Each structure stands twice: as C-alpha cells, then as structure tokens.
C-alpha cells in the first residue's frame, strides 16, 4: 500500500468525524472548531490515535488555505449595507483593538513566562486576533440572537483582524531576526501589507465578476469552482506582491458577493 493511500484513508476518517461533530455542536451551542480540536487531540500523539505530526510547513500551508477559504466565504456572505453601517467601529477593533490586546497579552506573557519583552509580544501577536470561523459559526449557526449592528460589527471585525495579527507577528519576527527598525520599518510594512491587500482585493473582485459574466462554461457546476479559484488568485497575487493575502481574499469576496453574476444562487 502506498503512503498516500493511508493518508487519504486517515484524512477521510478525521473529516467525517469532524463533520459529524457539528451535529453535537449545534445541540451544545459550542463552536464546531472546539469539537474539531477535540477530534484532533484524540487523534494526536498524546491521544488514543497516536498520530505523530510535527511538520510546520504542511501545517502552515493547510492553515493558510483553510483560513483563506473561510475569509472568502465570510466576504461572500457579508452585505455591503452591513459594512457601510459598522466599518468604523469594526476597523478600530480590527487594528487598534488587536494591537492593544496583543500588547497586554505580550507584557503579561513576558512577565509570567520570564522571557524577553519581544518574545512576550510575539506570543501576544500570535493570539491577538479572534477566530473568524468560530465567530461566524457562533453568530450564524448556534441560534444566538443579538443586535444586528453588533452582529455585523463582530463578523466584519473577526474577518478583517487576521491581517493585523499577521502583520504584528511578521513584523516582530523581522525585528528580532533581521534587525528591522521597530518604528519606520514596521510602519512601512503595515502600509505595504494593508495597501497592496486592499488594492488587489478590490481589483480582483471587480475583475472576477467581469470574467464570470463574460465566459460561457458548458457545465454550470464549474462556476462555483471558478469563483473559488478567482478568490484564491486574489490571495496569491497579493501575497506574492508583499501584501496581505487574507485581506485581499476577504475584500474580493465582498465585491463578488455584492455583485450580480450568472449562476449566483449556486
């Protein structure tokens, strides 16, 4: 038996268990990600599954792809009216809020763990953002009823705070490893990440709608695949230009989701 055959079998079993756990998630009112984590812990090297996994590169690749798809889906389902209504508080929470949270957590981590301030701040930056998938799951699927304005603020903030957290993490690593200037160097990195990510997201979303409406595919089932591919294209272009791919794919999703195009329902 080939190794890939065993990996496919194992992946299928874990995915099925993860999906079935969503039934329990709805009854308990817990984010499905909590149960996904439990499945992973049981399957891991310290659980009965005993699977040893310590490949950081594969984890980064799979995590980035999953987060990109989650943010794209969130963008597709976010009405422009909601963004216009709450973009100011959501923007402050997604930038300044993440910065304050990361700073407080970082200082506490440096004191509690007895490490340098930069290492503590790095820990704070890593955990400083809320999880978009968990927020979307709770607000949309767990039957929670809150003020519509507050709901929109939380959803948009959770979808747009990842670029800020990633910027802080990458920026601190650049300072610690490559000696980047903490002041002007970080500011330029921030402008580059957010500026390129926003521009590529807007252009990618606009171009995607034009392509979808102009191209005539023989199979309607290919349109959803094409939309997903165009979203990932925005992510890849922004990331390779030095911008935030996560911000780009979310904005592209918002532009596409609020436009009219063929086979939109499917």
Q: Is 51 helix (H, G, I), strand (E, B) or coil?
A: strand
How many Cβ atoms from other residues are within 10 Å of residue 100's Cβ?
13
Alpha carbon distance 164, 101 (integer Å): 12
pLDDT of residue 153: 81
Alpha carbon distance 40, 36 (integer Å): 6
pLDDT in tens, 247-263: 899 899 999 988 887 77
Q: What is the mean pLDDT of the chain?
A: 83
Q: Which residues does 157 contact at the CB level (< 8 Å), separation at least 6? A: 89, 90, 93, 94, 97, 130
- The better pLDDT of the pair 132, 53 is held by 53
pLDDT of residue 247: 87
pLDDT in tens, 88-108: 888 888 888 888 999 999 999
Q: What percent of the chain has pLDDT over 70?
A: 90
Domain borders along the chain are 1-54, 64-257
Sign of CA dihedral 219, 258, 153, 157: positive
Kindly indicate the confidence band of residue 231, based on its pLDDT and cuts at 50, 70 and 90. Answer: very high
Q: What percent of the chain has pLDDT over 90?
A: 20
pLDDT of residue 47: 81
Tokens 């970080």 — which residue? 186
Is residue 120 scored above 80 in pLDDT? Answer: yes
Kindly indicate the confidence band of residue 25, based on its pLDDT and cuts at 50, 70 and 90. Answer: low
Kindly indicate the confidence band of residue 136, based on its pLDDT and cuts at 50, 70 and 90. Answer: low
pLDDT in tens, 144-190: 677 777 777 877 787 778 778 877 888 888 778 877 666 676 778 77
């Amino acid at each position: 038996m080939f190794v890939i055959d065993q990996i496919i079998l194992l992946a299928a079993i874990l995915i099925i268990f993860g999906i079935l756990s969503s039934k329990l998630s709805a009854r308990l009112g817990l984010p499905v990600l909590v149960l996904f984590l439990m499945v992973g812990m049981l399957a891991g090297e310290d659980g009965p599954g005993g699977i040893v996994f310590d490949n950081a590169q594969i984890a980064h690749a799979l995590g980035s792809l999953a987060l990109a798809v989650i943010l794209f889906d969130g963008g597709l389902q976010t009405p422009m009216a909601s963004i216009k209504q709450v973009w100011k508080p959501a923007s402050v929470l997604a930038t300044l809020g993440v910065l304050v949270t990361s700073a407080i957590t970082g200082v506490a981590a440096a004191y509690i763990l007895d490490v340098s301030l930069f290492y503590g701040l790095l820990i704070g930056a890593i955990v400083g953002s809320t999880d978009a998938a968990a927020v979307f799951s709770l607000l949309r699927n767990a039957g929670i009823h809150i003020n519509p304005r507050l709901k929109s603020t939380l959803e948009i903030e959770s979808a747009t705070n990842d670029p800020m957290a990633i910027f802080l993490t990458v920026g601190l690593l650049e300072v610690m490893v490559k000696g980047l200037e903490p002041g002007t160097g970080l500011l330029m990195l921030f402008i580059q990440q957010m500026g390129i990510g926003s521009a590529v997201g807007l252009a990618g979303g606009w171009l995607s709608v034009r392509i979808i409406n102009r191209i005539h595919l023989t199979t309607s089932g290919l349109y959803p695949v094409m939309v997903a591919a165009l979203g990932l294209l925005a992510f890849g272009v922004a990331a390779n230009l030095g911008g935030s791919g996560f911000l780009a794919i979310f904005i592209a999703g918002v532009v596409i989701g609020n436009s009219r195009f063929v086979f939109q329902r499917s």
